[in-house]
Chain A
Amino acid sequence: GEDVEQSLFLSVREGDSSVINCTYTDSSSTYLYWYKQEPGAGLQLLTYIFSNMDMKQDQRLTVLLNKKDKHLSLRIADTQTGDSAIYFCAESDSGGGADGLTFGKGTHLIIQP
């Protein structure tokens, strides 16, 4: 079945860049997503990338996709204390919403002062 893997924790210093990595197994993944979850809250969509793209940049966020290795990463530039959260990688086979998202277990981003 489909599987999405992420490391559980990442610790970075405030002001440094954070790089959160994700691998997936489903070669038919069409869209890949990054979500953020703060304590006690639902998930917030940060960004997504279409499978025929290599990179997408949105302000402090850069998404890199290596489709051959099925590897996705999220880089957060100039990490701030407000970035402390759990980050989830997710994939879907198709657009349109009919198929549910398959999520990784999430990476806890810890910011050191």
Chain B
Amino acid sequence: KAGVTQTPRYLIKTRGQQVTLSCSPISGHRSVSWYQQTPGQGLQFLFEYFSETQRNKGNFPGRFSGRQFSNSRSEMNVSTLELGDSALYLCASSFGAGGPNEQFFGPGTRLTVL
């Protein structure tokens, strides 16, 4: 069974640009969550999607947005990039319905904002 895949793996952007990251969950998983990982703040929850609906959102500004498609693939978008957005962005998938929240993580997208 293929794991969670994220594209691209590395990205370099400049301040003010926007970026779109993609995540393909494990087959059969309907929930996709996004996290930002930085040395200073650690792992922080961005948002979670289930069946194309955002069910929960972390404490991030509106520049961070996402969506989920009917095949459960998800994208997240960051507009008007700031230097502080440089981070590893991790996507995780799970079945998303009942029981423990066993999330399986992708390798991440390393975003560098110059």
Chain A interface (Cβ < 8 Å from any Cβ of B): 31, 33, 35, 40-45, 48, 50, 88, 90, 92, 94-106
Contact = CB atoms under 8 A, between A and B. Distances in A.
Contacts of B42: 103-106
A101 B45 contact: yes
A86 to B, nearest CB: 10
B64 interface: no
Interface in B80-99: 90, 92, 94-99
Nearest to B98: A96
Contacts of A48: 100, 102
Contacts, number: 82
Contacts of A96: 96-99, 101
Contacts of A50: 100
B8 interface: no
A95 B101 contact: yes
Given A42-B4, A97-B94, A98-B56, A31 B101 contact: yes
Given A100-B56, A105-B42, A42 B107 contact: yes
* Interface size class, chain B: 20 to 34
A36 to B, nearest CB: 10
Contacts of B96: 96-98
Contact of A103 (B31, B43, B56, B97): B43
Contact of A97 (B50, B105, B108): B50
B12 to A, nearest CB: 17
B48 A42 contact: no
A50 B94 CA distance: 17
A88 B42 CA distance: 10
Contacts of A44: 105
A89 B28 CA distance: 26
A106 to B, nearest CB: 7
